[in-house]
Each structure stands twice: as structure tokens, then as C-alpha cells.
Chain A
Amino acid sequence: MSQANISESEVDIVIGALHSDLTLFMNEWRPFFLRFHIIIVKDPDLKEDLQIPEGFELDVYSKSDIERVVGSSTAGLFSGYSCRYFGYLVSRKKYIVCVDDDCFPARDNMGNVVDALAEHLFNLKTPATPFFFNTLYDPFRKGADFVRGYPFSLRSGVDCALSCGLWLNQADFDAPTQALKPGVRNLRYVDAVMTVPVRTMIPVSGINIAFNREVVGPALVPALKLADEGKLRWETIEDIWSGMCVKVICDHLGLGVKTGLPYVYRTQRGSAIESLKKEWQGVKLMEDIVPFFQSLRLPQSASTAEACVAEMAKTVKEKLGQVDPLFLRAAQAMEDWVKLWASVASSTG
């Protein structure tokens, strides 16, 4: 059921460039990025030219490319952090790894530099176990296994479609939390990967993820834009929305989602207090978003990610449309995304 080994030719690294100078970022990641093809998508709102060091195999897309491929009316889907979704759309590879451009390789507890790429790919190629919790976490890791009491029929697991990594230093807190605890840094390296159980919802942070594009690509939707969405993660929740869509779809299609390793080192920037003004809307909306996704059920007939997203868009319109016009726009964006996926991305190998 799972991949024996994932080869470089099956992977694209997608980077959403929200900063123009990617020199340090690319050089720090060089040992790990070098063997892969890279797609860099420039935030359409970024004015300066991108600075990218030599030596990588890459394709760079900017505003004009986005408009050419999807048309100027739909190009609005891809601003800010959502520019990366354009990379998912145009990729022709089976797997995508995506990291924010303010993150660097982390070190583990032994002081070794973490190869986040390799760890994400390991997560994706080994089975996930969503139907029963293994108290020793990922049973497929070296030195671990299923514990006593774990039903044998559930030990082959299911395909892992999404791998959610974590962050040392600047953790992915929301603005109120970071504003109240400005000095808190995440120093705890938790040496575990685990499968998120079926029907359990999690806030998927887009900062450090990898996924099986062939199976769930359409499920990562650039849909939810806050009215005051900004260029700091505190000022967005597009990835949280996208992650909930993916989790519901994975649960429905019998696929797995893992969380934990790998860590990246996230640099600190911005002011949480300033961001509070923008993100408060996001924090408020989560109160409606979470119950919605927790109770969302998809019809049996929806057997692909595209079909699932189309169904979800309908339900978002019905159930969340009155709560906030933002959700109506999200539903529309989801419908547009499915159409885009069908026309632009469907020629994938």
C-alpha cells in the first residue's frame, strides 16, 4: 500500500516567496533542496525582483505567469501566502513539500541538522494508522512497533496523504497568544510522528507540510481570505481552513494525516500586537469553522478529492454563508479551484 521509496523525480518543492531576497533561505536549505526540482511562486503583491542563488533546478512564477495561466479574475486566489497553491496547481509531480520562506533547517536533540525533506517523504511513504491510537506513536519508525492490544487487522494502515511538520523557535501561535507571551520560544524537540485519528480535527499549519498531490492536491484549497489578510502568518487562516478540508476528505477517502516530525527552525518577525488588529477576525471565525468541519459528512458518491471539494463548497454556502460573507467567497473560491484543477492540473502523470 505504501511507497517502497520515493525518488527525487516524484517530488516538487514549492516555495511561496513573500520576501524578495531568498538568498539566505535557499543557501541554508541547499544541501537538502539540491536534488529536487523547485517551484518558486512570487507573491503577486511583492514589488521587488526575487533574488535567488545559483545552482538549483527551478521554475519561477510571478504575477504575469499566474494571470496567464488562470486568467486575471481568478488570479486573486493566489495572493500572499496563497501564492503557493499556484505552485501546487502547475506541478506535475506526485509529492509536494512546502515550507515558508522564513524557515530554516532545524537541529535535533543531538545537534544534528534535520533533513526535513527526507523526514516528510518518510512520513508519506509509510502507512498511517488513523483507526486506533498507537501509544508508541509511529509504529513504522525504527525501534518502534505496534503495542500490545493493537488489533492486527489494523496494522497495515492506510496511505498517508498529508504530513504536517512542526517549528522550533517561533511556534505557530495566534496573535493573541504570542502578544501575551512575547518571549516564548518553542525549544522542545518532540521526537515523534503520529497519525491524527480519524474524525479528529487538527489546525494544519501551512508553514511546514508535505502531501501526495495526486491524491489530495485538489483538497488543499486557497479559499478562506480574511478581510484584512496580511503578510504574516498571524494575519491569515487560509491554511487552517485548507487543512480542515483536507482532513475531512482524508477521513472520507480512507487516507491518513500525520503530525509531528520534521521540525524546521522558524525565524521571528513581525509584531503580534500589531497583527492582533488583523487576526482577530480569524480567531473569531474559528468558533464557527470548527463545529462546521467536525459535523461535515460527505456523500458516499464523492470518491475523489475534486468531488469532495465540490460537495464541501455547496455545504459551506448553505451552512456558513449566512454567518459571514467571507464564507460565501470561500465557497466560490473552492468551486473555482476545482475548475482550475480540472483544466490546468489534470494533465498530471
Chain B
Amino acid sequence: MADASIAPTPLLKDELDIVIPTIRNLDFLEMWRPFFQPYHLIIVQDGDPTKTISVPDGFDYELYNRNDINRILGPRASCISFKDSACRCFGYMVSKKKYIYTIDDDCFVASDPSGKKINALEQHIKNLLCPSTPLFFNTLYDPYREGADFVRGYPFSLREGVPTAVSHGLWLNIPDYDAPTQLVKPLERNTRYVDAVLTIPKGTLFPMCGMNLAFDRDLIGPAMYFGLMGDGQPIGRYDDMWAGWCVKVICDHLGLGVKTGLPYIYHSKASNPFVNLRKEYKGIFWQEEIIPFFQNASLPKEATTVQKCYIELAKQVKDKLSKVDPYFDKLADAMVTWIEAWDELNPPTKGSVANGKA
């Protein structure tokens, strides 16, 4: 039975880090100040480390540039992308908090249809703190939302749901289209506010966008590797996609939930479609092989932790995708390096239990 209480959402200010990749500046934080100020920020500076990124006053933050990443990870720094916002996953790794919210620096506060400013972080927290329902689709979407519930026919034994590992938010204004679509529809703007949060069913893959994303680091953190993109790599703009496919397979295996829908942010900047096309080009073809790979990926019963699942996936990537391009061989190695780095920076505390369950 869904909880109809309207208790305020906890702030979780000591349990959540906000990770922001940037190469420009962080002026956009001014707009987010009412919502973000209580939280600790982890800023991952991409690009030229000699540049100084100025952070607006009053925020509590730590900032890492490429030199810091190299210093902290040593040779393992090779798994962190350079000159691509994929470097943000370094922030996930160094965080000591339970929850992460990551947002792009061109994402502004959106307004709902009534004109009210949307506290995206609060909605993400709500999403993460209440269960997901991946095993049976609820036609009224999130049954735990105020004013909603499970519909007739929804088995009672499934109404407790499972823990939520990921909350995937959406974007008004500039939609997250790929380059070909951007070229065909340069003026299209997403003006439709869909007032729903829903669980992505078990066994279904989705394109995870990293622009407005929150997750439970304890439940799924090690799977949030954003891959090898940018400088020296044959592909870009597939960092979050790659993480999303790995995350979904692992969540399905471990009985965790992934939600999508609210909250919306306002995506202000359209990236250059020609630049994007060059970055995405190989991905558009490779994705035709990658998707069936993930759709058919299965993890053994013995993989009971995220790390074990991820290492197993890396093996399968090497076995099955290397023939598509040698890039996947490198990526599989980087996936293993990432887990080694994660475990080194996040040693298991005494008495910690295996996250999730197979």
C-alpha cells in the first residue's frame, strides 16, 4: 500500500554530493543557490588544468583538475577521460557520500506549468528514497506519489517495490537529441511537461543522459563509469549512454530500480551538431552491436556485488565487442582499471555488506 504521508523531503545535506564537470565557469550556480547551497560540491575541471575556474562565493566545494586526477590515481588515471565531460565520474569515485547528483553547467532551474521554480534536487531525493517497481508496470506511473497508487490488477506481493538506485531526470527547452536529429530539427524545443516519474521495467534498456542524474552511490556507484571519451578516443557523447546500459543490466540483476521522468531542468545551450556528429559518428554504427550485446548480457548468480558484476561485464565486453573495434578492448581494460581505482579509493569499511542482492 502506497504511503500517503506528506512529510517534507529530507535535505540529506550531509549524505549527498553534487558533482559538476566544467571547462567554462560556474556562473549557473547562482541560479541554483537556493537549492544547492546546503550541499557539498565536487567540481571536476576538464580541459586545460592551468585555467582557474571561479566558483561563486558561499559554496562548499572541492575542485579537481587533470593534474589532481593524475596525482590521485597515478597510472590508473588512464581510465578517466580527458577533454570530455565523462571525466565527471572521477567525482563519483572520490566522493564519500551515499548519494550523488550530477548536473551539467548549462542546465538551469526550470519552471513547472504553474510557473513555480522546480527544485530538481528535492525531486531526485524523493525518487531515490522511495521504492521502484520494475517487476510490473503501474499504469498510473509512480504509485508512491501523492494522489497516486497501484492500479487494479497490480499484485499485492509486488507492492513493496525494490530499492531505487538511479533517478534519471529530464530537460525542457533543448532536448537531448543526437546529432542527426539536431541537424534535421535544429529549432525543436521540448515544451511538454510530463508530470510523471516511472520505473523503467526490468529487462528494458534506455538511453541514460548524464545532464540531470542522481544515484545511490552505495547501491550502484561502481557501475557509473562513464567510459573512454574525448581526447585520443574515437568516440564522444556516449559516456552516459555506456554507463546507463551497464547500470541497467546490473540493476536488473541485483534487483534494484531505475526511475525516469521528473524532475525537469531547463537545458539552455544547444551544442554544435556538426561537432556532435563527428563525435557520435562511430557510435551510431557501433550502437547497433552494443545494444544487442547488453540486451543479451546475463550475469552469473555468483556476481553479488556491483564490482563483481562490473568486472564480469568487462570480460564480456572484451569477448564479444572487441571484434566490432579494438576500442572495446581498451574500454574493457579501462572498466577493470576503474573498479581497481574505485576499490582503492573506497575500501570496504569493517562490517560492510555486499550491496544489492543477486
Provided the pairs A136-B190, A149-B244, A205-B152 are in contact, do residues A197 and B201 lie with their beta carbons within 8 angstroms? yes
Pair A148/B209 contact, Cβ less than 8 Å: yes
Proximity string of chain A (217-237) to chain B, C-beta cutoff 8 Å, 1 when within and 0 when not: 000000000000000011001
Q: Which residues of B contact A148 (CB under 8 A)?
A: 176-178, 181, 207, 209, 237, 241, 280
Pair A205/B291 contact, Cβ less than 8 Å: no
B206 within 8 A of A: yes
CB contacts under 8 Å to A, within B151-166, are 151-158
Pair B206/A171 contact, Cβ less than 8 Å: no
Provided the pairs A143-B188, A166-B139, A203-B139 are in contact, do residues A136 and B175 lie with their beta carbons within 8 angstroms? yes
B14 within 8 A of A: no
A248 within 8 A of B: no
Q: Which residues of B contact A201 (CB under 8 A)?
A: 136-137
CA distance A132 to B137 in the complex (A): 15
User: Count of A residues near B, CB < 8 Å?
Assistant: 58
| Contact residue among A135, A152, A192, A240 (Cβ-Cβ distance under 8 Å from B152) | A240
Q: Which residues of B contact A290 (CB under 8 A)?
A: 136, 155, 158
Least CB separation from B149: chain A residue? A177
Pair A147/B207 contact, Cβ less than 8 Å: yes
- The segment from A5-13, A58-66, A86-94, A181-189 that touches chain B is A181-189
- The segment from B29-37, B192-200, B299-307 that touches chain A is B192-200
CA distance A136 to B261 in the complex (A): 9
| Contact residue among B137, B177, B192 (Cβ-Cβ distance under 8 Å from A147) | B177
Least CB separation from A145: chain B residue? B181
Proximity string of chain B (230-268) to chain A, C-beta cutoff 8 Å, 1 when within and 0 when not: 000000011011001000000000000000100000000
| Contact residue among A132, A147, A177, A202 (Cβ-Cβ distance under 8 Å from B1) | A177
CB contacts under 8 Å to B, within A145-192, are 145-154, 164, 166, 171-174, 177, 180-181, 184-192
Min distance, Cβ B121 to any Cβ of chain A, angstroms = 19
CA distance A290 to B153 in the complex (A): 9
Provided the pairs A186-B148, A197-B201 are in contact, do residues A166 and B140 lie with their beta carbons within 8 angstroms? yes
A133 within 8 A of B: yes
Q: Is the interface of B mostly helix, strand, loop or mixed?
A: loop
B185 within 8 A of A: yes
| Contact residue among A146, A149, A172, A180 (Cβ-Cβ distance under 8 Å from B238) | A149
B346 within 8 A of A: no
CA distance A189 to B192 in the complex (A): 12
Pair B151/A189 contact, Cβ less than 8 Å: no
Provided the pairs A133-B206, A191-B192, A192-B194 are in contact, do residues A145 and B177 lie with their beta carbons within 8 angstroms? yes
CA distance A152 to B151 in the complex (A): 34
CA distance A145 to B175 in the complex (A): 9
Provided the pairs A148-B207, A287-B157 are in contact, do residues A171 and B241 lie with their beta carbons within 8 angstroms? no
Contacts between chains A and B (CB distance < 8 A), count? 177
CA distance A188 to B147 in the complex (A): 8
Pair B192/A200 contact, Cβ less than 8 Å: no
CA distance A339 to B95 in the complex (A): 64
Provided the pairs A148-B209, A180-B1, A188-B147 are in contact, do residues A135 and B139 lie with their beta carbons within 8 angstroms? no
Pair A197/B203 contact, Cβ less than 8 Å: yes
Min distance, Cβ B355 to any Cβ of chain A, angstroms = 24
Least CB separation from B280: chain A residue? A148
Pair B153/A132 contact, Cβ less than 8 Å: no
Pair A146/B181 contact, Cβ less than 8 Å: yes
Q: Which residues of B contact A41 (CB under 8 A)?
A: none
Min distance, Cβ B3 to any Cβ of chain A, angstroms = 11
Least CB separation from B285: chain A residue? A152
Pair B205/A200 contact, Cβ less than 8 Å: no
Residues of B at under 8 Å CB distance from A? 1, 4, 113, 136-141, 145, 147-158, 168, 170, 175-178, 181, 185, 188-196, 200-209, 237-238, 240-241, 244, 260, 280, 284, 287-288, 291
Q: Given A134-B206, A171-B149, 8 other A-B contacts at CB below 8 A?
A: A143-B192, A147-B176, A148-B181, A148-B209, A166-B140, A171-B148, A188-B147, A198-B204
CB<8 Å pairs between A and B, sample of 11:
A135-B206, A146-B177, A148-B181, A148-B237, A149-B287, A173-B151, A190-B141, A196-B137, A199-B203, A200-B203, A283-B156
